[in-house]
Amino acid sequence: MNVIKRSGEEVVFDSSKIENAVRKANAATDPSNRVEDDFILEITNRVVEKCNSLNRAVSVEEIQDMVENELMSSQIFQVARNYITYRYERALVRKANTTDKQILSLIGRSNEEAKQENSNKNPTVNSTQRDYMAGEVSKDITRRFLLPADIYEAHDKGIIHFHDSDYFAQPMYNCCLVNLEDMLQNGTVISETMIEKPHSFATACNIATQIIAQVASNQYGGQTVTLSHLAPFVDISRQKYRKQVAEEFESTGIETDAEKINAVAEKRLREEIKRGIQTIQYQIITLMTTNGQAPFVTIYMYLDEVDEGQIRDDLALCIEEMLKQRMQGVKNEKGVWITPAFPKLIYVLDEDNVEEGSKYYDLTKLAAECTAKRMVPDYISAKLMRELKGDVYGCMGCRSFLTPDRFTDTGTFGNPAHALNYKEGQHKYYGRFNQGVVTLNLVDIACSSEGDMDKFWEIMNERLDLCHRALQIRHNRLKGTPSDVAPILWQNGAIARLEKGEVIDPLLYNGYSTISLGYAGLAECVYRMLGESHTSEEGRKFGLEVMQAMNDACLKWKKEENIDYSVYGTPIESTTYKFAKCLQERFGVIPHVTDKNYITNSYHVHVTEEIDAFDKLSKESKFQQLSPGGAISYVEVPNMQNNIPAVLELMKHIYNTILYAELNTKSDYCQVCGYDGEIEIKEDDNKKLIWQCPNCGNTDQNKMNVARRTCGYIGTQYWNQGRTQEIKERVLHL
């Protein structure tokens, strides 16, 4: 068993430290009230047993709480008082400086918490360490100056989660849909250099990757760009090649006609499309932004986003090449093709590609093959999205959705971003963004209410008010921000084209941007209140009532403040472990509720529950409808590369049933023995979960490539113990 120190460093559990601390408290006690050595050993053993029963690494704070409880329950009050006094004095000393030890442990590469905070960041490299070090300072400033005490205390106890406090000291938003069309068609500025409209598809792709890197360095969440913004440059290259080929034939005296010229030009065009898409893929994978990771970017692929005809066919060519290259993968340092984490791909299912015999069905089959091998693309149902949102558009990053555009419905607000590609009467999504997230721990509400339904709703309302105040703080942090802080975003077209010195405030209201009320642990919440899964009829009914209550609160806040609050199924990565630990500290181990080192993402069916893939998507679709700010459902499947018809059937079910969903499989490689299969999760001698090659027994994580979907996107580094347990316990749905 391991212990997590306050610095984040994880070390081997040493029971003698507990014994020594109690001995010191005992020695400071009046001799008439001291206890015998045997009793000190008994107290120590009780604490050790409790720590072992958790089956995970425990924090120093947890151990100290256990010692206090054991001393008090044994009625050794003077010893307990001395122990508590010593602990309090040490806490005061630590408060004098809350960042030094954290930063030193980062530099020394011993901070296990940082190593597992983000599964796509390598914490040993300088750029990531620099970002984490700055983050520690930002967290400290946020805690001491920027957040009210009750909100930070609620965050610290896992009652809520105030996301990305490591970036909160600066006025930065979360995620966005990049207005790539405006920047490419009308020019932009990158690092004080004018970039004019490109004259070829390949150049457009190259510029797009530079824009992606710049955007990633000026926000902290994900971004989405669409291939439809690159599609117009295909025909520009086509016409260029036709002219070149005609001139070449004429200069060499070769007799030809338009058909032959076009055939040669088309061949050259296909090569350029291949190079352009390759540029996007490899640039995104190899770029390192200022926050120490590759850009967290999603490529959106929706055929009907452009007009029918040549441009849609050209978009289909781009999508086809993107899928082919992603299916191939990228080579690791051993030269073996593996699954990369980014870019994430989203493919939209619609009437012209979902049924066999439809015009673009071959693209859909290719997408199915790519999903079976590389876990992407994920799928949006245009049919369901039109029904639920009245429009079809991409999500930001992995799952955050904008609210439907309400500017052009009345013409009242016009074009507050001053985008050069704005068209009156057409809805606008690109150039819009999310202000930030605060997540509500639904499991804590259920546990705090002790199963009493009246008490549950009373606490729910209190917690919603707490989240609302925290979200207002996020919103107010952005107010008054001058466009100069991030020219690529606010002045040069990615989000807006504001003047220097102009503040971004108009973009924070009237639905132009959103702000998210996140939630986690609906499955455990329902079980604590009803003793059954939310897949049952009664559980479903109560779960939907909880979801509706959050939506009602967001609607109320929106009407009062003209800010688009929205309910968001948070992709909790490291937070799933934090919430689980906090719940165990506060409520102990409750079967089916707090007995895991993780809690369930958003509304998902619990990972251990046996359920059919089609049934899972159907049941979860009802909850996804009440998560309009973003959510994604998944089904866990075995290797499907030899069963593409089954993948296609699932895709059709997604089209008819649920707005946004994905298929999870495995894609691993052992660099020691060359094993190309599923790397397994095992327990080591300290009960820590580790990854192990089933072929050669390799446990060196630096000598294996593991890719798993965790929170809507693929992770390729490693995860904390809570998330690793969740991955280990997933059951197959097909």
In tens, the pLDDT along 446-501 reads: 999 999 999 999 999 999 999 999 999 999 999 999 999 999 999 999 999 999 99
Is the model's pLDDT at 110 over the cut of 80? no
Q: Which two tokens stand for residue 647?
A: 């993948």
Q: What's the distance, CA 462 to chain centroid?
A: 27
pLDDT at 658: 98
Residue appearing with tokens 């034939």: 249
CA distance 543 to 657: 19
User: What size, in residues, is the chain?
Assistant: 734
Are 550 and 517 spatial neighbours (Cβ–Cβ below 8 Å)?
yes
Q: Could you confirm whether 174 is annotated as catalytic?
A: yes
Residues 6 or more apart in contact with residue 385 via CB below 8 angstroms: 391, 392, 393, 659
- Under the banding of pLDDT at 50, 70 and 90, the label for residue 598 is very high
- Give the pLDDT mean for 599-628: 97
Q: The pTM is what?
A: 0.86
Q: Could you confirm whether 173 is annotated as catalytic?
A: no
Greatest C-alpha distance within the chain: 114
What type of residue sits at position 36?
Answer: E
Q: Which two tokens stand for residue 674?
A: 């060359």
Q: Could you confirm whether 573 is annotated as catalytic?
A: yes
Q: Could you confirm whether 434 is annotated as catalytic?
A: yes
> Which member of 568, 577, 603, 669 is catalytic?
568
Is the model's pLDDT at 108 over the cut of 80? no
Are 346 and 299 spatial neighbours (Cβ–Cβ below 8 Å)?
yes
Is the model's pLDDT at 45 over the cut of 60? yes
If you average pLDDT over every residue of the chain, what do you get? 90
pLDDT, tens digit, 9 for 90 and up, residues 64-98: 889 999 998 888 888 888 888 877 766 655 555 55
Element of type H or E holding 476: helix 453-478
pLDDT, tens digit, 9 for 90 and up, residues 718-733: 688 888 899 999 999 9
pLDDT at 119: 47
Of 124 and 645, more confident: 645
pLDDT, tens digit, 9 for 90 and up, residues 391-444: 999 999 778 999 999 875 555 567 999 999 999 888 999 999 999 999 999 999
> Which member of 7, 119, 165, 174 is catalytic?
174
Q: Could you confirm whether 51 is annotated as catalytic?
A: no
pLDDT at 55: 79
Is the model's pLDDT at 31 over the cut of 50? yes
- Under the banding of pLDDT at 50, 70 and 90, the label for residue 709 is confident
CA distance 60 to 90: 13
Is the model's pLDDT at 289 over the cut of 80? no
Element of type H or E holding 244: helix 232-252
Is the model's pLDDT at 331 over the cut of 50? yes
Residues 6 or more apart in contact with residue 267 via CB below 8 angstroms: none
Of 114 and 15, more confident: 15
> Which member of 26, 228, 434, 664 is catalytic?
434
pLDDT at 145: 81
Q: Could you confirm whether 447 is annotated as catalytic?
A: no
- Give the pLDDT mean for 315-337: 94
Q: Could you confirm whether 568 is annotated as catalytic?
A: yes
Q: DSSP class of residue 482?
A: B
Rg (CA), the chain: 27
Please report, rounded to a whole number, the percentage of residues in the chain having pLDDT higher than 90.
68
Q: Which two tokens stand for residue 373?
A: 């091998």
Residues of the chain with CATH 3.20.70.20: 151-163+437-636, 175-399
- Under the banding of pLDDT at 50, 70 and 90, the label for residue 290 is low
pLDDT at 408: 59
- Give the pLDDT mean for 38-58: 88
CATH of 175-399, one of 3.30.56.10, 1.10.3720.10, 3.20.70.20, 3.20.20.10: 3.20.70.20
CA distance 92 to 531: 42
Are 547 and 566 spatial neighbours (Cβ–Cβ below 8 Å)?
no
pLDDT at 103: 54
Q: Which two tokens stand for residue 135?
A: 């983050």
> Which member of 51, 66, 133, 175 is catalytic?
175
CATH of 151-163+437-636, one of 3.30.420.40, 3.20.70.20, 3.90.1150.10, 3.30.559.10: 3.20.70.20
> Which member of 10, 573, 620, 636 is catalytic?
573
Residue in 724, 604, 714, 720 with CA at minimum distance from that of residue 666: 714
Residue in 620, 624, 635 with CA at minimum distance from that of residue 569: 624
pLDDT at 353: 98
> Which member of 400, 448, 449, 667 is catalytic?
400
Q: DSSP class of residue 629?
A: T
- Under the banding of pLDDT at 50, 70 and 90, the label for residue 346 is very high
CA distance 733 to 617: 10
> DSSP labels for 48-84?
HHHHHHT-S-EEHHHHHHHHHHHHHHTT-HHHHHHHH
